[in-house]
Structure 1
Amino acid sequence: MTSYIVLMNWTEQGAKNVRDSPKRLDAARKQLGDMGGSFKAFYLTMGEYDMVAVVEAPDDAVLARFSLMLAASGNVRTRTLKAFPEFAYREIITSLG
């Protein structure tokens, strides 16, 4: 599985309906699960982003589809970062020679 960091901000629509946000999170969690992925962590944050999720997906295409489905809902805008776990980071640095 590939790890990703998903940075999210509510749209005006999402903020207007913020009380429904936990239900939307549950639906997103199920949707990603049905696609073969999972949420590893979710945070409400203060600062530039409203929420941050750590997720796993089988590949980039699955996460791209998931992100597009989130965007289509009109409640959040996302930025996605592909994340390399520490062991991969060490392998990449070691391979530099």
Structure 2
Amino acid sequence: MATFISLVNFTDQGIRAVKDSPDRFQAFKALAEKAGIAIHAVYWTVGSYDLVLIVEGDEETATALLLKVGSLGNIRTQTLRGFSEQEMRKIIGNMP
């Protein structure tokens, strides 16, 4: 399973309804779990990003889920593929 770290910003639409943000997250969480994506953490933040989300699942399903939530118009995401120490050791071990 792949780990993804999403840096999230509210759009103009999303910030106008910021009070709904926790409920929107719960709807996202239910959709993710139904699709087999595990939510490891979500944090509402201050600074350059409004939320940080960490999920795990197969790459195609996670990507489709993040595209779906982005298409609703409340957020924009910048998503990073994360690697655990064990995964990184394996990658480094495969270096020529």
Superposition TM-score, scaled by structure 2 size: 0.92
1:1-97 → structure 2 map (5 Å cutoff): 1-57=1-57, 59-96=58-95
Question: More displaced, 36-45 or 16-25?
Answer: 36-45
Letter in 2 for 1:61: E
Using the TM superposition, give the Cα deviation of residue 95 of structure 1 relative to its aligned residue in structure 2, in angstroms. 3.0
Q: Percent identity?
A: 38
Summarize deviations over 1:10-35 as a string: whole Å, max 9, x none.
00010000000000000000111111
Runs of 4+, deviation exceeding 3 Å? none
Quote the offset at 1:93 in angstroms. 2.1
- TM-superposed deviation, 1:37: 0.6
Give unmatched runs, 5+ long, in structure 2.
none
Cα distance in 2 between the residues matched to 1:91 and 1:72:
35
- Whole-Å separation in 1 of the counterparts to 2:21 and 2:8: 12
TM-score, length basis structure 1: 0.91
C-alpha separation in 2, matches of 1:96 and 1:75: 41
How big is the alpha-carbon RMSD for the aligned residues of Structure 1 and Structure 2? 1.2
In 1, Cα distance between equivalents of 2:44 and 2:54: 12
Tell me which moved more, 78-87 or 9-18: 78-87
